[in-house]
Structure 1
Amino acid sequence: MFLRSGLIGLSFTLAAHSAAAGDTFPLTIENCGQSVTFEVPAVSAVTVGQAATEVLFALGLGGKVLGTSVWFNDVLPEYADLNAKVERLADNDPSFESVVAKRPGLVAAQYEWHVGPEGVVAKREQFHDLGIPTYVMPADCAGKDNTTGGDGTRTRMFTTGSLYRGIEELAAIFGEADKGAELVADYKAREAAAVAKAQEVALEDASALFWFSSPEMESDPFVAGQKGAPGYMMQQLGLRNVIETDEEWPTVGWETIAKANPTVIVIARMDRRRFAADDYEKKLEFLRQDPVASQMDAVRNNRIVVMDAQGMDATIRAIPALEDLAAELSVIGSSQ
């Protein structure tokens, strides 16, 4: 599908790489299987997903955000005052009507399952028919099949390149390509430093499990598959993922996990309370009291790392999460 809007047009082909060339309009971006063209820079946005919201805040574009939705944690502290001035349409999934009512120049989504072929909020075409262009963070569709149900399946390993691409493209859409390049350069430097720090730690045959949440405390947990953002972190930091599937967030039984016996367990901390296990303290309590989970070496030796839930996803929080995990591995390595 090709959408051309008088207000917006986003297309960021790798060949032309318009953003890098400057703020050139019309601007066309190939985004998650669709071409979107902006005749002039976008002037406003509604975000469906915390990741898209915080990217716009980090780019200094918070004043152009008319409404937000889908929150896992409180906004980053440095954006608290700014975020307080922006209407929160919903903590979780907003209605199509509430997004359209803001008359945004752009709908920026974190996940394709919110705004996509089977969109929980709406299909992209529903917005496009109203002249509202959409943009889905490419980290959720690059090398990923979102038609498999659930959180999708990675067809190749996530890399921060898709995250950085999203930052650059959003900046370009608003005519702020220089801001995007500056922010990406900073994150790349921090990522390289974190990886270098972890490589100084010699953890022999170290393995890890990333636990996001669980429908019920005793039920099989949602854990990170091989090729998502946590898989990338583990690969970069020299950790072996004990979960071998390519599903983004599969459910795996505790007996299977205990048999794999990870060296380190990373658990998500979030403010959302959709599931009981969203509370990281309840995760800790479960690990220490469950007759199966409590016998794992990571639990018995207190090698449990608490990580920002958004840091486990393809978001700008993944970079500080990588830094924190590298620091934790240094501590674990020195105690062995």
Structure 2
Amino acid sequence: MNLARKVLAMLSLIPASSAVADATHYPLTVMNCGQEIHVSSAPDRTVTVGQSATEILYALGLEDRVVGTSVWFNPVLPQFRELDADIERIADNDPSFEGVVNRKPGLVAAQYEWHVGPTGSVATRDQFHELGIATYIMPADCDTKDNATGGDGTRTAAFSTDSIYKGIHELATIFDVQQAGDTLVDDLEAREEEAISRARDLDLPDDLSAVFWFSSPDGSAAPYVAGRLGAPGYLMDKLGIRNVIQSDEEWPTVGWESIARTDPDIIVIARMDRRRYAADSVEAKLEFLQHDPVAREMSAVKNGHIIEMDAHAMSATMRTIFGLETLVDALSTLSFDR
């Protein structure tokens, strides 16, 4: 039974009095990423701009409210594959403003502020609000983060999975499915705690270091690597791994010569279906690491300490918890004899 069906089954067991007590009172006002949003009733038509919002709505059992999706990095989670096949994918990457509006949504749920924000690549929030369409941006992309700095933004404090759980609870409240939100958060928190506990049992070296490589514009360009305060920074912090990249930017570009000088013990590379940049594919990343005269001399490459991870888990999303599990599983197979 997939997660959405489990949630719905659990909801059917909740006493009516409890369900009424937890019901959302409309009209609802929520402070979201610095703006008040107003929802007059539970949205019956939602367009998602970002895989994170899509999969959270699916996990809350709200797939019947989703009329279009966009911005995908990885295949949808296996438990949602069947239901996702019946929902229109407006675009693999950025949708057009018209493409979103034409679906007549009551709500646009976005993963990144740069898609739907002050300078949104799809549209600004005001443009949607002028048409009576509410917007919701996942808090993980704006809590403890300044997106006005350009690029992928700069973290003002370390990412925490609390922002993921906050987004789940707020979406559950907007759609009046609070019990489903509680169930999902409980499951994710349990998985997070279990992965961290397993990592402690691995007895990893105290001075273990890593770099997370998302992609590169072309073969000769400096790669996009994870800064110290984003989701990969959280993953490393929970496992006691030092990030060799100390920037507060979400995904700074750092030259391979600089990375090689830090000689990380582990290189984590993003696996994705997207093909926007030359190094999006795992194959291109591995080819570079094994043949570039600078990169191939790093200890992680020589020792085969290269870990693949879903790109979506490297972003501040529900899948970050799954990325924690991926990292622990991979580390359990590696030897770090010094």
Task: Give the alignment partner of residue 291 of structure 1, picking from 290, 293, 302.
Answer: 293
Shift of 1:23: 2.3
Shift of 1:246: 0.2
Pairing 1:212–2:176 present: no
Asked whether the 8 Å contact 2:108–2:133 carries over to 1, the reply is yes
1:242 is aligned to: 244
2:175 is aligned to: 174
Give the aligned residue type for 1:46.
Answer: V
Residues 148-198 of structure 1, C-alpha deviation per residue, up to 9 Å, x if partnerless? 000000000000000111111111111101101110010001001111111
When the two chains are superposed, the root-mean-square deviation of aligned CA atoms in Å is 1.3
Pairing 1:232–2:234 present: yes
Q: Distance in 2 between matches of 1:54 and 1:276?
A: 27
Count of aligned residue pairs for this structure pair:
317
2:143 is aligned to: 142
Please give the residue correspondences for 1:143-158 in structure 2 after superposition, counting only pairs within 5 Å. 143-158=144-159
Please give the residue correspondences for 1:181-220 in structure 2 after superposition, counting only pairs within 5 Å. 181-200=182-201, 201-220=203-222
Task: Give the alignment partner of residue 301 of structure 1, picking from 280, 300, 303.
Answer: 303
Shift of 1:73: 1.5
Instruction: Say which SS state the counterpart of residue 249 (structure 2) adopts.
Output: coil
Asked whether the 8 Å contact 1:202–1:333 carries over to 2, the reply is no
Shift of 1:21: 5.1
Asked whether the 8 Å contact 2:74–2:272 carries over to 1, the reply is yes
2:59 is aligned to: 58
Residues 277-302 of structure 1, C-alpha deviation per residue, up to 9 Å, x if partnerless? 00011101110111100011100000
Shift of 1:334: 7.0
Please give the residue correspondences for 1:317-328 in structure 2 after superposition, counting only pairs within 5 Å. 317-328=319-330
In the alignment, structure 1 segments of 5+ residues that lack a partner are 1-19
Task: Give the alignment partner of residue 271 of structure 1, picking from 270, 273, 291.
Answer: 273
Q: Distance in 2 between matches of 1:179 and 1:51?
A: 17
Shift of 1:142: 0.2
- Percent of residue pairs bearing the same amino acid type: 59
In the alignment, structure 2 segments of 5+ residues that lack a partner are 1-20
Decide which moves more: 35-44 or 204-213.
Answer: 35-44
Asked whether the 8 Å contact 1:23–1:172 carries over to 2, the reply is yes
Shift of 1:43: 1.5
Q: Distance in 1 between matches of 2:220 and 2:230?
A: 25
1:115 is aligned to: 116
Shift of 1:136: 0.2
2:49 is aligned to: 48
Instruction: Give the TM-score normalised by structure 1.
Output: 0.92
Decide which moves more: 60-69 or 70-79.
Answer: 70-79
2:163 is aligned to: 162
Give the aligned residue type for 2:110.
Answer: A
Give the aligned residue type for 1:122.
Answer: A
1:314 is aligned to: 316
Give the aligned residue type for 2:85.
Answer: A
